[in-house]
Structure 1
């Protein structure tokens, strides 16, 4: 999460970014053929990304891509580089932080490159909206994912209970959770984690009600009643034995390896579709994937496509044209797509997706097939998350849900507290 001092530094620096872009220093270095690329992720992602960089270099003699991989310190490093005027030409952003960085003018708008340097004719319809902030495309989505429910297929087979599916309602899901927990019959093993603390699950719940987690104005798009209904659902499920205990849920750090499904305390996980690979790598049994429960079969699904990650071009880049060419190569080149596979998510270029599909393993194919299966059910992409969304996730959603789970806060009080805290953070 960006600290307030760091945000101030970014605001001061990039408020004058347009002036910097026209500086003599930038003009003098414009012919340089070296470019920096900065991203975060696993060693496997690093290997794939660097392989694409080498492929791009081979296709563009004289060009050199310097790849840099960040770990747990990625965000602090990126902020320091941006504030210090030493930004990488291209950097990777997570959707939860994308709009925050964009609104601080750290990235170049891509409008001058789209349809020319960056080819768009083979991209999935509407995908550029995922990279738009305040009406301008400032980041390129690298891949797609969506909300999903991941489940242990073997556990359901042994219990002789049908797993959840696209038509499962929230009420039906609650009954299923209680039934599968009883059928498993093992101490400290439940159906699912306590979803009250997952803001993305709450967002699907809200979309099904015709609302949003955040509105176009950067404020919350729900009220205390919506929040209380959400907390009440999970409190009831916990009391009936359908989701994990407060103690187990508190150990979940919103990482794949700490989710109750991965630690052996649950047989389902509310997650994102591209995380199926990570969950399957830790699971002994075959995992299935389906969509989240719905409020009503005739109503909205609560689903929409999300960008797994974005690439942005630094507004101070000395090589913006080269950076745009690399992004084009990264998303549109068939050979690059085959190297990248679906590690970052499902490709946004339809030809690349078709070329990659036969090459991926069974687990990756399940993820790709899921994205394709919901095409007729997804709704419009919501407004980009506002500044303060990361703080909301870490300091509000999880703590309030945990307080309810531990009996420290009533459902009604939790709903009021969530709204009050959200209004405080998003207006500061």
Structure 2
């Protein structure tokens, strides 16, 4: 089986609605990374010190609250492992990938690296990451099977999932009540039900409440849709795994909603997308449904001031198979250049397998990938995260498998799908033309890598 915070993108260096990189900085110095990584010999990462303590660098991205919590985790680890010192190497998301690419190219990569799935293959294929399965200090036996192999490529394990998220539809219960429309049965509803429901909400409220926010900006929605057809966004070898007929059908859903005013207009969607999660139709109380990762429930609930319900994707029981999946929120990797890989493995083991670390991190890096640790902290989670945990538990039995790591160049898809969706929304492309252009551009981006 194969399986983000998940926390949509002109090429400015900024954060997308689910915390994803808007451009692919690593490839700008790919030749440098490839050449230096292959030539480097134990010149990067941590080192010893005068007091005999092994010093390791650990890189991550995030805001101030994540930095503070991570420092607490480091202190807990160091107290239990006095022979190891962890030095934080953190920055915001916009700077992280340029900084990591530069240090890797210089043979000075951090010992422990926080990775995102779109870039894991890029670093792994260039020899920058160690095979975690060879580290005796790291136990991977209790990682959720639905994401346990998500960091595996070419017979090696380049990353272990920090935690899990699922892509869902979030529904504003107050909006449904105001529209006089019943919440759907998410175990049985179809894609036609979704479209009809969104249109009905817009019509019954005279457009004061729109049925749904555009789903076209995030390829995760299409990935679920394709999986429901027995296809996928990407194959195991990194090639595209869907038919253009399936992609055309998916774009057509948005086209139908635009035509019937079941979602914001093209210009409104552009504005909403630019504002990020804080500008969603849920957050602004102007719509009934929107597509988000489970870890974003708390933010949407708090910003909207309304009760938000998590719903399974339409089509899970009416299409060929279930398409929803668990997504690794992030990965922990170990640099292939680290002078102390076993000590680095001990720290990664603490991060993913210890209750002590989980009690501090909680769901900040997704609900823990270690199944036992996940169960341990459920009662300690904030209300929204606890509801997300229950939702993930409810759908776990319906998830059939996971996804392989995206190909090198997959980060470009964030820009591609946004631009093509906008062009279709403004009537410049038909769904068929949008599907064809998307395929051509994604193939070019991934094959050129």
Return the alpha-carbon distance in structure 2 between the equivalents of residues 40 and 28 of structure 1. 23
1:193 maps to 2:213 = yes
Aligned to 1:9: 32
Aligned to 2:9: none
What's the RMSD between the two structures over aligned residues? 2.1
Say whether the 8 Å CA contact 1:131–1:137 is kept in structure 2: yes
- When the two structures are superposed, what TM-score results if normalisation uses the length of structure 2? 0.88
Return closer, same or farther for 1:88/1:417 CA change in 2, 3 Å cut-off: same
Say whether the 8 Å CA contact 1:270–1:292 is kept in structure 2: no
- When the two structures are superposed, what TM-score results if normalisation uses the length of structure 1? 0.92
Return the alpha-carbon distance in structure 2 between the equivalents of residues 5 and 124 of structure 1. 35
Aligned to 1:154: 174
Aligned mate of 2:410, from 371, 383, 389:
389
Residue correspondence of structure 1 range 256-271 to structure 2 within 5 A: 256-271=277-292
Deviation per residue, 1:63-110 (Å, 9 max, x gap): 221112211211111111111122111111122222222212221111
Aligned to 1:424: 444
Aligned-residue offset at 1:208? 0.5
Return the alpha-carbon distance in structure 1 between the equivalents of residues 335 and 205 of structure 2. 52
Aligned to 2:258: 238
Aligned-residue offset at 1:369? 0.6
SS in 2 for 1:150: strand
Return closer, same or farther for 1:218/1:53 CA change in 2, 3 Å cut-off: same
Return closer, same or farther for 1:335/1:160 CA change in 2, 3 Å cut-off: same
Return closer, same or farther for 1:100/1:320 CA change in 2, 3 Å cut-off: same
Aligned mate of 2:398, from 377, 392, 401:
377
Say whether the 8 Å CA contact 2:46–2:55 is kept in structure 1: no
Aligned to 1:91: 113
Give the number of aligned pairs: 420
Return the alpha-carbon distance in structure 2 between the equivalents of residues 101 and 167 of structure 1. 41
Residue correspondence of structure 1 range 73-222 to structure 2 within 5 A: 73-113=95-135, 116-164=136-184, 165-187=186-208, 189-222=209-242
Aligned-residue offset at 1:134? 2.3
Return the alpha-carbon distance in structure 2 between the equivalents of residues 261 and 33 of structure 1. 48
Say whether the 8 Å CA contact 1:253–1:259 is kept in structure 2: no
Higher mean displacement: 47-56 or 415-424: 415-424
Return the alpha-carbon distance in structure 1 between the equivalents of residues 379 and 215 of structure 2. 34
Aligned-residue offset at 1:217? 2.5
Deviation per residue, 1:365-424 (Å, 9 max, x gap): 111011101111112112210011111221x21111110000111222212211221222
Aligned-residue offset at 1:270? 0.9
Higher mean displacement: 320-329 or 218-227: 218-227
Aligned-residue offset at 1:298? 6.0
Aligned-residue offset at 1:199? 0.7
Aligned-residue offset at 1:254? 8.4
Aligned-residue offset at 1:268? 1.7
Aligned-residue offset at 1:125? 2.8
SS in 2 for 1:155: helix
SS in 2 for 1:388: coil
Deviation per residue, 1:110-168 (Å, 9 max, x gap): 1112xx41123433235320121222111110101111111212212333322232322
Return the alpha-carbon distance in structure 1 between the equivalents of residues 251 and 283 of structure 2. 24
Aligned mate of 2:372, from 326, 340, 351:
351
Return the alpha-carbon distance in structure 2 between the equivalents of residues 52 and 222 of structure 1. 42
